[in-house]
Amino acid sequence: MSKYSKEFKLEVIKYCEENHHGYRDDSNFFNILSASCVRKWVRRYREHGVDGLLRNLN
């Protein structure tokens, strides 16, 4: 089970796409400890769409 829901990840990604100030600032806005986590979500979403958030892609 994922720590963050698909809906939450999509909310973060939408925020990043519309108001991107840097992954560290975006992760702080949502109280996510790791900026790299947000960066990974955005990358997977851009490459694979919503499916990229559901599966563990390496």
The answer, yes or no, to whether residue 34 has pLDDT greater than 60, is: yes
Classify residue 1: in a domain, yes or no. Answer: no
Task: Render 7-25 in DSSP notation, one character per residue.
Answer: HHHHHHHHHHHHH-S-HHH
pLDDT tens string 3-29: 889 999 999 999 999 987 899 999 999
Q: What are the structure tokens assigned to 7, written together?
A: 């809906």
Classify residue 32: in a domain, yes or no. Answer: yes
| Nearest alpha carbon to residue 48 among 36, 57, 39 | 57
For residue 27, the enclosing domain spans 6-54
Share of the chain above pLDDT 70, in %: 90
Collect all residues with Cβ–Cβ distance below 8 Å to 22 and sequence separation of at least 6.
35
Query: How many domains in the chain?
Result: 1
